[in-house]
Amino acid sequence: MDQADKPTKKWGWLQWGSVLGVTGLVGLISMASWQLVKTAGEQAASIKNVRSIGGQFHAWASDNGGIFPDAIHYDERKTANLVFRQLFKDELLDDEKLFGAVRSPYKPDGEVGLAPHYAQAVGPNENHWMMFGGLSNTSSPNEILLFENSVNAAWPLWWRKGEDEPRRGRAWPDGKIGVCLTDLSVQLVTLEERGGKLTLPAAVIVSYPEGYQNDRSVLDIETK
């Protein structure tokens, strides 16, 4: 019998199942890798924004004796939005987009209002970033100044485990949040789980001066 006339062995379910299984596994690995790359890109874009905000704080401080703009607001209900609006009043900013972030429910609408008050700038539900008050450009360089919004605005601050839905206090899928320190360096801080909630790691809190939580007010975002 010629080679061409010999019967060929057909593939059965086992062979086809193996091929499909490998193909599916490769697809899952590729999707997971793509998600990691996508998240890393989104994190980079978000912390780029917060570093720019921190830079404006230092620019403001250089013209105001080293203090940050939260220091000049005394009698009002002090919020992060209120402090950020000061940057518009003093003509350091004319665009709100820095105050948003990827996957955030809080999106700037681009309307800042008219000078000199810029009352529409960084309005309710237009700002993703919270901050600690009472700092200045002479504060310890490793202190957190700006950070992604938490669920609450009182110690201990906490965040939700990584979720896809834009919600207040949502950490990234890898359990991290973006922060800007007083020296303008930015980091993705890995949160610690305590009692089913994600909180700032003990190493971060311990490195701060004794009584830090009493000295550093938490300036909340405006949601209404």
Q: Is the pLDDT of residue 138 over 60?
A: yes
Range of the domain at 169: 18-219
The band of 182, judged by pLDDT with boundaries at 50, 70 and 90, is very high
Tell me, yes or no, whether 187 lies in a domain: yes
Tell me, yes or no, whether 10 lies in a domain: no
Nearest CA to 188 among 199, 198, 174, 202?
Answer: 174
Q: Mean pLDDT of all residues in the chain?
A: 84
Q: What percent of the chain has pLDDT over 70?
A: 77
Average pLDDT over residues 101-115: 93
Please name the residues in contact with 172: beta carbons below 8 A apart, sequence gap of 6 or more.
39, 43, 162, 188
The band of 208, judged by pLDDT with boundaries at 50, 70 and 90, is low
pTM for the full model?
0.81
Average pLDDT over residues 170-188: 93
The band of 197, judged by pLDDT with boundaries at 50, 70 and 90, is very high
Tell me, yes or no, whether 168 lies in a domain: yes
Q: Residue 178: beta bridge partners? A: 188
In angstroms, what CA-CA distances link 6 with 11, 65, 214? Answer: 16, 92, 87
Tell me, yes or no, whether 150 lies in a domain: yes
Nearest CA to 157 among 148, 165, 166?
Answer: 148
Residue where the block lists tokens 């300036």:
219
Tell me, yes or no, whether 6 lies in a domain: no
Backbone φ, ψ for residue 77 (5° rounding)? -70, 105
Tell me, yes or no, whether 199 lies in a domain: yes
Tell me, yes or no, whether 11 lies in a domain: no
Residue 19: predicted pLDDT: 61
Number of domains, the chain: 1
Residue 97: predicted pLDDT: 94
Tell me, yes or no, whether 224 lies in a domain: no
**Residue 101 burial (CB < 10 Å; 0-12/13-18/19+)?**
buried
* CB environment 184-202: b (16+ within 10 A), e (fewer): bebbbbebeeeeebbbbee
